[in-house]
Amino acid sequence: MGGFNKTAGILLGLALLAVGILMVLGVLDFLLRIAGVLCILAAVVLLGMAFFGSRRGY
């Protein structure tokens, strides 16, 4: 994880968040809604790693 780029992590997290929100709000399948929730969770984890990981030395 030493080469983790903070900016790339933030951009990827925001993109995942947007996709997840669109999936959940969209008039989509139930399975896609579950996938959207998983995307949002992944985005939260990524953003958390990008913002707080740098303080821990990752």
List, for residues 13-55, the tens digit of each pLDDT value. Answer: 888 888 877 777 765 667 777 787 888 888 888 888 877 766 6
Q: Does the structure show a pLDDT above 60 at 8?
A: yes
pLDDT, position 37: 83
What is the predicted pLDDT for the residue at 28?
60
Task: Supply the pLDDT for residue 56.
Answer: 58
Classify burial at 53, counting beta carbons within 10 Å of its beta carbon; exposed 0-12, middle 13-18, buried 19 or more.
Answer: middle
Question: Cβ(34)–Cβ(14) under 8 Å?
Answer: no
Instruction: Say which residue, 4 or 37, is predicted with more confidence.
Output: 37
Instruction: Spell out the domain ranges in the chain.
Output: 6-56
Residue of 26, 20, 28, 23 whose CA lies nearest to 44: 20
Can you say how many angstroms the Cα of residue 41 is from the centroid of all Cα atoms in its chain? Answer: 6
Residue 2 confidence (pLDDT) above 70: no
